[in-house]
Amino acid sequence: MIRVAFDIGGTFTDLVLQDGTRHRLVLHKTPTTPDDLSRGVMDGLTALLRDAAVAPGEVDAIFHATTIATNAILERKGALTGLITTAGFRDILLMGRQKRYDTQNMYMDKPVPLTRRRHIVEVAERTGFDGRILAPLDPASVDAAIDRLLKQGIESVAVALIHSYANPAHELQIAARLAARAPNLAVSLSSQVSPKYREYERTSTTVANAYVKPIVARYTADIEATLAARGFRHRMYIMQSNGGLVTPALAKEYPIRIVESGPAAGVLLCAAVGREEGFERVFTFDMGGTTAKLGAIDDGKPAITSSFEVDAKNFRKWSGLPLNVPAIELIEIGAGGGSIAATDGRLIAVGPESAGAQPGPICYGFGGTRPTITDANLVLGYLNPGYFNGGAMALDSDRAIAGVAAAIGTPLKLAPVEAAWGIHAVANSNMERAMRVISVERGRDPRKYAMVAFGGAGPLHAARLARALGIPTVIVPRGAGVGAAIGMLNADARLDTGVTRLLTLVPGTETVMAEVYADLEARLRADLAHLQGSDGVRWLRYAYMHYKGQGYEIKVDLPDGPIADGYARRAIAAFEATYEQSYGYKDPGAVIEAVDWNLVAVVPTAADGIAPLPPREGTATEPVVGERPAYFAEAGGVIRCKVVDRYRMRTDQAIAGPAIVEEAESTTVVLPGDSVRLSPRGNLVITIGEGR
């Protein structure tokens, strides 16, 4: 099969073609076109197919990762959204949670909801926590609510009634009335988007889904139409936050599932590379043009969280907008190659604002006037101005030096190279702080993990980040500069669903458990109808449980097999084993409650490993192709270091640092005291030395 994957980032769009017949990967990187994203995609696809000598009609599958939903939320550029809720609960989004993310800050701002209070309307109804109808839905109040929203010009509506996770009847009635009166209005029901308890989180998730739904629908339709017009015949799949692929139809209906689309794809690459090199514990480090993303893989599997927050402040829980959807555990910060550096005359600050693709860093020559991390790395000698993006772009060193000097050097009385080092060091410090959150603050010992670094800028910063945290090994995969796109080739189609049903685990509860999972399976089978070739479905069960009296739950993987006599005891054993692994003890005989029940349908579509990159013909055997001056604080300043052509490296040939390894899509910096070798699988493996 011939498969194509593309990931649209804030600065570059990454593309990869996998030819299963000839066992090869063809890579391409092109600037993103923010004014018309599809234009950049099509320009990149044209070049990619030309390089691969493949016609559009020969492509069997297309995979896509996008930040369209994330950006709409972060930039507050979503649809004008209304919320219909139960009478008396109009302010649930404004009140949020009692928890404070900054206890001592008397002027702390709560997360700003995606809709205004004037766009929140109430209806007369009430459902109990057990699903009993306590007060029937008043049709007159529904019509009054719809009238008010239509007069306000609402484009999308979220419906989140109290306890609708236990009984969705009233939400379905409102949806039917909305369809009859305003058939073109986008509608999101909490009982379908996030049928979980905890009303604030469920309402926030549903409103976010409604907020991005029209934008994602238009964007996806445009991409599909453009691909079809260019001769691509087969269906496109979109990456979800949980690391699985989904059809455009489901992405349009539940766009909240693709909020962390691109970052999730990169983690799948890291899992595959970790397995190749014999590492079951891996930290993932993805540094692109706009942001840096950090994650973890435990026991060979990406860490999955049941919820996450968007626009969180300084990684603090409860500081962002909560989204109750499964997602690969990631921390994202504004530290990419295009992140802008500035100073107040005393300190250097880097990010989160980015120069993006337009105007981009100063050295691109596209009109950028403020220095970025990329400019600093060019001044430090790490980047080759004549071989950026494989020579497709020429960087202007003189402009970068002048820009760094004017914005940072002169105010702080530093030479340009010292100012550039300050930018580089501050960016590393920001990423180190984020990596500590994902590692030691969550019980992971960095000394027992390897780091897989990818993205256009990740391999350049990885060694210093690893050295600061005590990570002994850094792996730079082949094609690291387009890692997220390659990661999609390692993804299966995956559908998740879940529901809240509070149940005490005791022998005899198997009947209720079986009913819950039968309902969840029926829901997923309806969604599976959208997937072509959904044979060989693998079902996975998990639940969130706690000891009775505890306020929060832990995720527990449940046993396979029929839910019959004895299954409750097996579930209890699974909980106790998971609890003991997490906290070092268990409480035999204590009452255990299950709160949320989840089911996953996995449809195998992943590639069988990662194909090797094509060999470069006619190259010499000596990988060291020259020297150039570069700044290494570890060696006292600017020194001459080896320049290595990655494509000329021989398997297991070790090269001592300091060295700069160049390839078309990224650059790897090897520090003094470290060494790098090319593994049999084609990955760069850096051994972090003890030199400090």
Domains with residue ranges and CATH for the chain: 76-216 (3.40.50), 493-603 (3.30.1490), 624-687 (no CATH)
Which whole number is the average pLDDT over 521-529? 86
Statement: the pTM of the whole predicted model exceeds 0.75:
yes
Phi (first) and psi of residue 501, to 5 degrees: -145, 105
DSSP strand pairing (81-86 vs 120-123): parallel
Residue 133 has pLDDT above 70, yes or no: yes
Residue 312 has pLDDT above 90, yes or no: no
Average pLDDT of the chain to the nearest whole number: 89
Give pLDDT, residue 451.
Answer: 96
Give pLDDT, residue 527.
Answer: 82
Q: How far apart are CA 45 and CA 610, in angstroms?
A: 20
Q: How far apart are CA 601 and CA 242, in angstroms?
A: 12
Least confident of 22-31, 147-156, 309-318, 489-498: 309-318
Q: What is the DSSP string of 494-519?
A: EEEEEEEEEEE--TTTHHHHHHHHHH
Q: How far apart are CA 17 and CA 52, in angstroms?
A: 8
Q: Are 523 and 499 in contact (CB under 8 A)?
A: no
Give pLDDT, residue 98.
Answer: 79
Q: How far is CA 612 from CA 25, 27, 102, 608, 678, in A?
A: 6, 11, 48, 12, 13
Q: Are 40 and 30 in contact (CB under 8 A)?
A: yes
Q: How far apart are CA 645 and CA 489, in angstroms?
A: 26
> In 3D, which of 526, 496, 540 has the Cα closest to residue 256?
496
Residue 580 has pLDDT above 80, yes or no: yes
Q: How far apart are CA 690 and CA 327, in angstroms?
A: 36
Give pLDDT, residue 691.
Answer: 42
- CA–chain centroid gap for 452, Å, is 15
What is the number of H-type helices and E-type strands within the chain? 17, 35
Cβ contacts of 184 within 8 Å, gap of 6 or more: none
User: Quick one: pLDDT band at residue 154, thresholds 50, 70, 90?
Assistant: very high
Least confident of 272-286, 313-327, 371-385, 666-680: 313-327
Enumerate the H helices of 230-334 as residue ranges: 248-253, 261-276
Cis peptide before 359 (omega within 30 of 0): yes
Angle at the Cα of 113 (from 153 to 258), degrees rounded to 5?
90
Q: How far apart are CA 242 and CA 245, in angstroms?
A: 9
Give 18 or 189, the one with higher predicted confidence.
189
Give 613 or 578, the one with higher predicted confidence.
578
DSSP strand pairing (675-678 vs 654-656): antiparallel
Cβ contacts of 233 within 8 Å, gap of 6 or more: 56, 57, 59
User: Quick one: pLDDT band at residue 307, thresholds 50, 70, 90?
Assistant: confident
Q: What is the pLDDT of residues 396-449, one digit of tens each?
A: 999 999 999 999 999 999 999 999 999 999 999 999 998 998 898 888 899 999
Give pLDDT, residue 615.
Answer: 46
Q: Are 74 and 217 in contact (CB under 8 A)?
A: no
HSE-CB of 549 using CA atoms within 13 angstroms: 2
Give pLDDT, residue 610.
Answer: 55
Cβ contacts of 314 within 8 Å, gap of 6 or more: none
Q: What is the pLDDT of residues 360-378, one digit of tens each?
A: 899 999 898 999 999 999 9
What count of other Cβ atoms lies within 10 Å of the Cβ of residue 125?
24
Phi (first) and psi of residue 409, to 5 degrees: -60, -55
User: Quick one: pLDDT band at residue 609, thresholds 50, 70, 90?
Assistant: low
Give pLDDT, residue 477.
Answer: 93
Residue 665 has pLDDT above 90, yes or no: no
Alpha-carbon torsion, ordered 224, 230, 236, 242, to 10 deg: -80
Residue 257 DSSP class: G
Q: How far apart are CA 492 and CA 262, in angstroms?
A: 15
Which whole number is the average pLDDT over 125-151? 95
Residue 686 has pLDDT above 60, yes or no: yes
Give 689 or 544, the one with higher predicted confidence.
544
User: Quick one: pLDDT band at residue 607, thresholds 50, 70, 90?
Assistant: low
Which tokens go with 674?
Answer: 């470290």
Q: What is the pLDDT of residues 203-221, one digit of tens each?
A: 999 999 999 999 999 999 9
User: Quick one: pLDDT band at residue 656, thresholds 50, 70, 90?
Assistant: very high
Which tokens go with 72?
Answer: 């709409």
Q: Are 6 and 44 in contact (CB under 8 A)?
A: yes
Give pLDDT, residue 332.
Answer: 82
Give pLDDT, residue 481.
Answer: 86
User: Quick one: pLDDT band at residue 125, thresholds 50, 70, 90?
Assistant: very high
Give pLDDT, residue 493.
Answer: 84
In the beta sheet, which residues pair with residue 16? 5, 27
The residue written with tokens 């962390």 in the block is 260
Give pLDDT, residue 71.
Answer: 79
Strands (E), 262-329: 282-287, 292-298, 301-302, 304-305, 308-310, 321-323, 327-328
Residue 619 has pLDDT above 70, yes or no: no
User: Quick one: pLDDT band at residue 484, thresholds 50, 70, 90?
Assistant: confident
